[in-house]
Amino acid sequence: MTNAVRTIQTQRLMTIGALGLMALMISEPSFAGTGGDAFTDVWDTLKDWTQGTLGRIVAGAMVLVGIVGGIARQSLMAFALGIGGGMGLYNTPTVVESVMSATLPVVANTQ
């Protein structure tokens, strides 16, 4: 009885796997969001804020708060978190642009 159950479970698993593999093989690539400039001004403003003077002030404040927190807690972790937060704030636009624009050369070559 257990061999029959195992056989049925194995067949079911093989069928699901085959269907999943077929779905992956016949799917078309999607290039959503590669056009449109509706929010370009907003993105440029946010990028200028985070990488400009305002971003440097906020990053410096994060480092200062980290230093004060590190002194108060007698630990370097708060200082490290302040520096990490400041670096993350400054580099976020670059990371987002590189992730979101990774497929644009592929789209340009296919059209």
pLDDT at 12 over 90: yes
* Stronger pLDDT, 78 or 101, i.e. the higher one: 78
The pLDDT value recorded for residue 5 is 86
The Cα 11–Cα 19 span in angstroms is 12
The pLDDT value recorded for residue 102 is 64
The string of pLDDT tens digits covering residues 51-100 is 899 988 998 898 888 888 888 888 888 888 888 888 888 899 988 888 87
Mean pLDDT of the chain: 83
The string of pLDDT tens digits covering residues 27-43 is 776 665 556 677 888 88
Residue whose tokens read 């404040």? 61
Share of the chain above pLDDT 70, in %: 83
Nearest alpha carbon to residue 47 among 11, 94, 1: 94
C-beta separation of 54 from 86 below 8 A: no
pLDDT at 111 over 80: no
CA angle 95, 89, 92 (to 5 degrees): 10
The Cα 44–Cα 96 span in angstroms is 12
Long-range residue pairs from 75-79, CB within 8 A, at least 24 positions apart, any chain: none
